Amino acid sequence: MKGVVNFCDYFVICSGTTDRHVGGIADNIEDGLYELGIKTKLKQGVKKSDWVVFDVGDVVTHVFQKQSRKFYALDHLWQEAKRIELD
């Protein structure tokens, strides 16, 4: 996102198959951040678990259910940003 927006350097975008799956992914992200001593500036969407967002400053993480990821199309909306694929 560097050079494209001024509010973060990276977007992490991932998907889960159900609300429970998205909630589990979000819980693991939150646990990992806590273990690293990283404070979350914003955490939103956890109760519904359709689209969960974590903002830790330079990195904003989006965890979607697949249909919501397709609907909001952040991958397409920010397509001019350099894409880094992770396994």
What are the structural domains, with CATH classification, of the chain?
10-75 (3.30.460.10)
Q: Six-digit token pair at 47? A: 């109760």
User: According to the model, what pLDDT value does residue 73 have?
Assistant: 93
Task: Outline where the chain has alpha helix (H).
Answer: 19-35, 66-72, 74-77
User: According to the model, what pLDDT value does residue 63 have?
Assistant: 96
Flag the least confident range among 7-11, 16-20, 23-27. 7-11
Q: pLDDT at residue 87 above 80?
A: no
